[in-house]
A and B are shown apart, each in its own frame.
Chain A
Amino acid sequence: MLYSLFHVDKTLMAVPITTILEIVRPSMFYSISGSPEVIDGLINFRGKVVTVINTGLAFGGNKVETTEESRVYIFKKNSELKVADGTGLDSELSPDNIGLHVDNIENVINIEIDELQAVPANMAHPFYKFVVRKGDDFIIILRPAEILNLNKDRDLLS
Chain B
Amino acid sequence: MNIEDEVFKNFLAEMAERLIDLEQGLQDLEKEFSIDVINKLFRAVHTIKGGCGFFSLTKITELSHLFEDILMKIREGDLVFDVKMVPTFFAACDALKDMHESDDYGNSYDIKEICADLLSGSLSSQTFGSPEQQIKKILPVEIESQDKGSNLPKAELHNAQINHMPVDKSIESEPVKKDLEKSVSVDNDFTLEEVIKSIQKNSLDKNQPQNETIRVKVDLLNRLMELTGEIVVGRNQLLRQFADSDNKIALSSMAHLISDLQQVVLQTRMQPIGGTFTKFNRIVRDLSKQVNKQIKLVVKGEETELDRSIIESLSDPLTHLIRNCCDHGIESSQLRISNGKDPTGTIWLEAKNERGQVSITIEDNGAGIDTEKVKLKALKTGLITSVQAASMSDIEAANLIFNPGLSTSDAITSLSGRGVGMDVVKSTVEKLGGALDLETKSGLGAKITFYLPTTLAIMSSLIVRIGDNRFAIPHSELREVILIRPGDELQIEKIMDHTVYRLRGNLIPILKMSEITGDPSQDSIGGDHSVFLVLHSGTNQFGLIVDSIEHTEEIVIKPLPRILNKLTYYAGSSILGDSDVAMVLSANGISQNQSLHLQELDSLFLNNKSFEDMQLMDMQEKQDLLVFRCGPDEQLAIPLSLVFKIERIDVDQIDKIANKHFINLGDKNILLIYLDQYLDLKPFPSDSKYFFVITTKIDRFEVGIVASSIEESFHARLVLDTPPISGKIILGITKLYNRITLILDLFSLAEQVSPESFKAIDFSGKSTNKNQLLVVDDTPFFRHLEKKYFESVGFKVTLASNGREALELLLEKPSKYDLVVSDIVMPIMDGYELVKNMKINSLLMKIPVVALTSFSEAEHHEKALAAGFDGYAIKTNKETILKAVNRFLIEE
Contacts and interface: CB of A to CB of B under 8 A. Distances in A.
Contact of A33 (B229, B565, B573, B583): B583
A49 B558 contact: yes
B250 interface: no
Interface in A77-119: 79, 94-96, 98
A44 interface: yes
B581 A49 contact: yes
Nearest to B471: A33
B563 A39 contact: yes
Contact of B573 (A49, A149, A151): A49
Contacts of A44: 575, 579-581
Most chain A beta carbons < 10 A, residue from B513, B519, B561: B561
A151 B574 CA distance: 22
Contact of B469 (A30, A48, A149): A30
Contacts of B229: 47
Contacts of A41: 581
A157 B163 CA distance: 53
A96 B573 CA distance: 13
Interface string A11-55: 000000000000000001011111100010111101111010100
A28 B558 CA distance: 19
Nearest to B466: A33
Contact of B563 (A43, A46, A51): A51
A31 B569 contact: no
A44 B575 CA distance: 7
A47 B563 contact: no
A30 B580 contact: yes
A150 interface: yes
Given A30-B469, A33-B517, A79-B219, A51 B230 contact: no
B265 interface: no
A47 B562 contact: no
B129 interface: no
A98 B563 contact: yes
A157 B227 CA distance: 32
A147 B464 CA distance: 33
Given A47-B227, A96-B561, A33 B575 contact: no
A150 B565 CA distance: 11
B77 interface: no
A31 B574 CA distance: 13
Interface residues of B, number: 32
Contacts of A31: 468-469, 522
A96 B563 contact: yes
Contacts of B466: 33
A34 B227 contact: no
Contacts of B574: 49
B308 to A, nearest CB: 20
A33 B565 CA distance: 13
A121 to B, nearest CB: 29
Contacts of B563: 39, 51, 53, 96, 98, 150-151, 157
Nearest to B570: A32
A51 B513 contact: no
Given A33-B519, A42-B581, A79-B219, A51 B469 contact: no
Contacts of B570: 32
Nearest to A95: B562
A41 B42 CA distance: 59
Contacts of B569: 34
A79 B219 CA distance: 10
B226 interface: yes
Interface in A49-63: 49, 51, 53
B581 A35 contact: no
A116 to B, nearest CB: 28
Contacts of B468: 31
B564 interface: yes
B518 interface: yes
Contacts of A96: 561-563
Contacts of A157: 563
Contacts of B522: 31, 33-34
Contact of B564 (A28, A30, A32): A32
Contacts of A48: 226, 558
A33 B579 CA distance: 19
B119 interface: no
A46 B230 contact: yes
Most chain A CB within 10 A, of B468, B563, B582, is at B563
Contacts of A35: 564, 567
A30 B513 contact: no
Contacts of A30: 469, 573, 580-583
B516 interface: yes
Residue among A44, A47, A151 with most chain B CB within 10 A: A47
A42 B573 contact: yes
Contacts of A94: 562
Nearest to B522: A33
Nearest to A41: B581
Contacts of A28: 580
B517 A34 contact: yes
A50 to B, nearest CB: 8
Given A33-B469, A34-B516, A51 B558 contact: no
A98 B561 contact: yes
Nearest to A79: B219
Interface string B696-719: 000000000000000000000000
Nearest to A39: B563
Nearest to B569: A34
Nearest to A28: B580
A73 B24 CA distance: 53
Contact of A34 (B561, B567, B573, B580): B567
Contacts of B579: 44
Contacts of A34: 516-519, 522, 567, 569
Given A34-B517, A44-B575, A39 B227 contact: no
Contacts of A32: 564, 567, 570, 583
Contacts of B518: 34
Residue of B574, B582, B583 most packed against chain A (CB within 10 A): B583
A39 B566 CA distance: 14
Interface string B210-250: 00000000010000001101100000000000000000000
A34 B226 CA distance: 26
Nearest to B576: A44
B564 A39 contact: yes
A47 B230 contact: yes
Nearest to A29: B581
Contacts of A33: 466-467, 469, 513, 517, 519, 522, 583
A19 B735 CA distance: 68
Interface string B581-610: 111000000000000000000000000000
Contacts of A150: 563
Contacts of A46: 227, 230
B517 A47 contact: no
B467 to A, nearest CB: 8
Contacts of B219: 79
Contacts of B581: 30, 41-44, 49
Contacts of B226: 47-48
A99 B466 CA distance: 26
Contacts of B558: 48-49
A51 B561 contact: yes
A148 to B, nearest CB: 9
Contacts of A53: 563
B80 to A, nearest CB: 56
8 contacts: A33-B467, A33-B517, A42-B573, A43-B581, A49-B558, A49-B574, A150-B563, A151-B562
Given A51-B563, A94-B562, A98-B563, 18 more contacts: A30-B469, A30-B581, A30-B583, A31-B469, A31-B522, A32-B564, A33-B467, A33-B522, A35-B564, A39-B563, A39-B564, A41-B581, A42-B573, A42-B581, A46-B230, A47-B575, A49-B561, A96-B563
8 tightest Cβ-Cβ pairs between the two chains A and B? A34-B517, A47-B230, A33-B522, A30-B581, A47-B226, A51-B561, A96-B561, A33-B517
